[in-house]
Every structure is written in structure tokens, then in C-alpha cells.
Amino acid sequence: MTPHQAPPTAPPTAPRARLPRTDDERGVTIITAAFFLLLMLSFIALGVDSAKLTVTRTMLQNAADAAALAGASAIDYRTGELDHDVAAARAQATAVENKAYVKNPEPVTLDPDDIAFPGHNEVQVTVRRTGAQSMVTHFLQVLGVPGISVSATAIAKAETTMTANCGIVPLGVSPPDGNGSFLPGQLYTLKDGGGNSGHYGAVCFPVCDRGECPGGPETGAAKWSCLMESGYCCELAVGTTLQTEPGVAGGPLFKSINGRFLSDTDGREGITYDDYQGNGERLIFIPITSSPSGKGRTSVTLLGFGAFFLQNKPQDHTLSGEFVYGVLPGTSGPGNSTGSVAFSLRLIH
């Protein structure tokens, strides 16, 4: 090779021929892809239907809670005992006002066989999405799961009110004979129209920023009249010390009670609670207190709460009421199950 000759080059390498894919390899690839696609769809199905199941459980539990509380409110105003027939009707009426998923949200129907009374003044309800009313799945149907059965249970109880949340009027009545009990259907003087004791039945409450009569002062005719008509909407607990409100306050008394009669859908005077068909404005909740001593403003202890129906407007600055067993918003707890009590409701399961 001379200096001017180019070095020899290697002959080009021929491209390696690709072997054709066999039918077996193609089949494995298709099966693998299908498996992962099915797995992915399964996870999507599980996520979507699990979310729907969670929502359905919550909706059913809300329906069960509401139905149980409605049932427990059916306290017979004459006996202080739960009326089972009324309780069942209220529970069913409340359940159907709630919805839970079948395919779409539908009203919840409470079967009479799913209502029970496991204890004193207790109501247990179980609401279901089963059988033809099971929760309809979406993606899980392709896996052979067309529906899922769901249920929820709640137990509510009516117990003695220990703390009232709202609706108490500023009167204080002491138990008959010092430590006796008010009798259902009997009339009692709630506020005296005069006398020499200086205590005529009015009390004042701590300043409250909620309700129809917010802010101070604690005392005064205008504030007292507002609370008599609209109720006090801060917490009042058994054992609280209250101050009496001296004075007859005949004008504020008549104004507030007249307002209640005007707001009620049944304004007939001279009727008893048996005949009453109104919206509840004439049913007032009052602190039951220790007896005041001395004259002028003094302290009394809150012993409990009682419900009284106003048969008539005040006469000669005197207000009377018919004692009944009633249910009010508040915190309940163990206490007297009979006698001078009002009831509040709570879920125990």
C-alpha cells in the first residue's frame, strides 16, 4: 500500500433480520393488557361505588337519628310517659322527610317492624336500603355486584332536662308545699298580681347575646317583657342561682302574653290543653326554683323546669297556667322521671 492509498474499509454489516412475533406472544400481550385494564377498572369501580356507599351510610344514619329523636319527643303531656303509637307515627313521618341513595336519592321508608322501645322513654329505629331498595352500584355491576345492602340504627331517649338551651321565660315557681309536685291538668299561679311579700314570681336571667332579646341589662321592664314573649336563648342549668325581679309589672306582663296569644294559631281563651290545637306559643317553660325569702331582690336556686299552658290572658296582673309534661331543647340526664319535670332528648346510640 502506497502512502497515497486509502486504508481498506470493513465490509458493511448486513442488518439482522427481525423474527416475526408468534401467535403465543401476541396472545400473552393481549391477556396482560386486558388484565391490567380490568384491574384499573376495578379500582375505579371500587372508588366510585365506595364513595356512594359512604354517602348512603351517612344519609341513612342522619335519617335514623332524626326519626329516633322525633319518636322520643312523643311524651304524653298527662303522664310523662312515652306514647308508643304517637312515637312510631312521628318516627315514620320524620324518616320519610329524609333521603338516601337507591340509584338516586329517594325518601327513606321506616318499616313498623324496625321500630322498638328498648327502655323507659327510649325509641330505637333501623332504616334500611335492602332488597329491591338496595343501593344500586355503577361500575361494580360489571363484576356481578348490582347492589349493596345498607342499614343504620339509632336510639334516642327522653330524660329530665338538666340544662335548657332556649325558650325559658323569666318566671320562677316553687314546688307546691315546698317539695311537692305539680299535677298535670291543674292550674297554678305563675305570677301574682300583688300582695305584701314583695315577690310576685318574676326572675331575671344573666345577660345573653342570642335570641330575640340580646344584650343587657339583666333587669328592667322592657327586657323582662321581651323575654316573656320570646324566651331566653342561652343555657340555664339546674343549680344556677337566679335573682328575683321585684314589682308587679302588670303592663309588661299583659303586653308579652297578649303577643303570645296573637302569634298562636289557636287564640281561644278558656280552653284546656286537651282542646288546644295551636302552634305552641301558649306553652311556656318556666324555671322551678327554691322559695324566695325576705323582701325585695333576693337569690333563688334553679331546681328544674316545668311546662305550663296559658288558658287565659292575665287577669288583674295575675298569670295562671295549666301544668303539662313538655319537651324542650336542652341537655338531659338522669333525674326525676315523674313529678315537676320537663324533658329533653338525646341520642344514646
| Residue 328, C-alpha cell as written in the block | 324542650
What phi and psi values does residue 17 have, to the nearest 5 degrees? -70, 130
Q: How many domains does the chain have?
A: 2
- What domain range includes position 187? 166-328
What phi and psi values does residue 93 have, to the nearest 5 degrees? -65, -35
Picking from 256, 222, 218, the residue whose alpha carbon sits closest to that of residue 234 is: 218
Domain identity same for 107 and 140: yes
**Predicted pLDDT of residue 76:** 97
105, 133, 158: which is the final residue of a domain? 158
Domain identity same for 264 and 318: yes
| Residue 44, C-alpha cell as written in the block | 375505579
Q: Compute CA 181 distance to the chain's CA centroid, rounded to the nearest angstrom.
A: 29
Domain identity same for 130 and 181: no
- Selection from 9-23, 75-89, 171-185, 218-232 with the highest mean pLDDT: 75-89
Strand, helix or coil at 137? coil
Residue 113 lies in a domain: yes
- Write out the DSSP string of 300-323: EEEEEEEEEE--S--BTTBEEEEE
Among 26-30, 150-154, 237-241, 253-257, the minimum mean pLDDT is found in 26-30
How do residues 119-154 score in pLDDT, each as one tens digit? 999 999 999 999 999 999 988 887 788 999 999 999
Q: How many Cβ atoms are within 10 Å of 293's Cβ, its own excluded? A: 11
Residue 308 lies in a domain: yes
Domain identity same for 137 and 246: no
Domain identity same for 259 and 115: no
E strand or H helix that includes residue 277: none
E strand or H helix that includes residue 102: none
Sign of the Cα pseudo-torsion (6, 8, 13, 14, in order): positive
Picking from 166, 160, 52, 67, the residue whose alpha carbon sits closest to that of residue 108 is: 67
Domain identity same for 180 and 311: yes
**Predicted pLDDT of residue 27:** 61
Q: How many Cβ atoms are within 10 Å of 116's Cβ, its own excluded? A: 15
- The pLDDT confidence band at residue 105, using thresholds 50, 70 and 90, is very high
Domain identity same for 234 and 129: no
Residue 12 lies in a domain: no
Residue 343 lies in a domain: no
DSSP annotation of 82: B
Q: For residues 56 and 288, give the distance between their C-alpha atoms in angstroms, rounded to a whole number.
A: 44
E strand or H helix that includes residue 339: none
Q: For residues 338 and 79, give the distance between their C-alpha atoms in angstroms, rounded to a whole number.
A: 8
Task: Say if CB 254 and CB 313 are below 8 A apart.
Answer: yes
Residue 86 lies in a domain: yes
- The pLDDT confidence band at residue 18, using thresholds 50, 70 and 90, is low
Amino acid at 182: F
Using left for φ > 0, alpha for ψ between -120 and 50, and beta otherwise, residue 112 falls in alpha
Domain identity same for 47 and 178: no
pLDDT at 296 over 80: no
Amino acid at 304: G
Domain identity same for 249 and 225: yes
How do residues 25-61 score in pLDDT, each as one tens digit? 556 677 777 777 767 766 676 788 889 999 999 999 9
pLDDT at 87 over 80: yes
Residue 109 lies in a domain: yes
Residue 4 lies in a domain: no
| Residue 217, C-alpha cell as written in the block | 341589662
Domain identity same for 238 and 262: yes
Domain identity same for 189 and 324: yes
Picking from 163, 151, 109, 115, the residue whose alpha carbon sits closest to that of residue 329 is: 163
| Residue 125, C-alpha cell as written in the block | 329505629
pLDDT at 258 over 60: yes
Q: For residues 118 and 124, give the distance between their C-alpha atoms in angstroms, rounded to a whole number.
A: 7
Residue 134 lies in a domain: yes
Domain identity same for 179 and 248: yes
